[in-house]
């Protein structure tokens, strides 16, 4: 009976090692296919938000279209109509529509 217990122990350790390797591979796949591309996209968005200039046509998260009238470090002043300006956080700007023609 004791010999059966000793024979089964090495097989279980090999199973633990393969489980550990499988977990590391799953994490690596998730990192390279999900986390890393999202981080790159976030960096591009942050870089774009920092490059916003006066006169750019932009859209906010809430769907407000306007023209950038003034740029500050944490917010922009956006003109949505003649003599109507609103202050918008830079984080809420989602799209540049300067090149899209308005009908």
Give per-residue pLDDT as tens, 49-59.
999 999 999 99
How would you classify the pairing of strands 65-71 and 57-60?
antiparallel
How far is 93 from 89, CA to CA, in rounded Å?
7
Give per-residue pLDDT as tens, 40-76.
999 999 999 999 999 999 999 999 999 999 999 999 9
Residues in the chain: 103
How far is 97 from 78, CA to CA, in rounded Å?
14
| Cross-sheet strand order for the sheet of 84-89 | 84-89, 75-81, 65-71, 57-60, 93-96
Q: Is the pTM of this model over 0.85?
A: no
Give per-residue pLDDT as tens, 15-29.
788 899 999 999 999
């Amino acid at each position: 009976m004791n010999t059966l217990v000793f024979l089964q122990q090495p097989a279980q350790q090999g199973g633990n090692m393969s489980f550990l390797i499988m977990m590391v591979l799953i994490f690596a796949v998730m990192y390279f296919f999900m986390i890393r591309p999202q981080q790159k996209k976030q960096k591009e968005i942050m870089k774009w938000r920092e490059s916003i200039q006066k006169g750019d046509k932009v859209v906010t998260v809430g769907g407000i279209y306007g023209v950038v009238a003034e740029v500050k470090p944490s917010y922009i002043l956006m003109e949505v109509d003649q003599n109507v300006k609103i202050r918008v956080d830079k984080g809420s700007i989602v799209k540049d529509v300067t090149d899209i023609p308005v009908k």
